[in-house]
Amino acid sequence: ELKVEQNPLFLSMQEGKKNYTIYCNYSTTSDRLYWYRQDPGKSLESLFVLLSNGAVKQEGRLMASLDTKARLSTLHITAAVHDLSATYFCAVRSYNTDKLIFGTGTRLQVFP
């Protein structure tokens, strides 16, 4: 059974101060990993789709990478700004099915 673990659960940081990383571990083979953003009271917004080992994608201050051998994906946040405050989820496609299994989510709070 595919399990997806995400950490940390909560990140609080001051704008522009440091870089942070969210980790997403999964337990069995998968061919696709997704990162989503969710604002309070809203649905999911797609950020990245990672398809192969070593894949790296960047959009603004967010960069996602995938290591399929370690079954690990990271979402790196560079010098966060308040607009990035949200909950971030990784989701892994269950191999040979169409299902997505979601991580627990990481709530990111960026204050001035």
Given the rule CB under 8 A, which residues bind another protein?
Answer: 32, 34, 36, 41-44, 46, 49, 89, 93, 98-105, 107
Q: Please state whether 4 falls in left (phi above 0), alpha (psi between -120 and 50) or beta.
A: beta
Q: Please state whether 47 falls in left (phi above 0), alpha (psi between -120 and 50) or beta.
A: alpha
Is 77 or 101 the residue whose CB approaches another protein more closely? 101
* Min dist. Cβ of residue 97 to another protein (A): 9
Is 44 or 72 the residue whose CB approaches another protein more closely? 44
Residue 107, φ and ψ in degrees, nearest 5: -90, 120
* Min dist. Cβ of residue 16 to another protein (A): 27
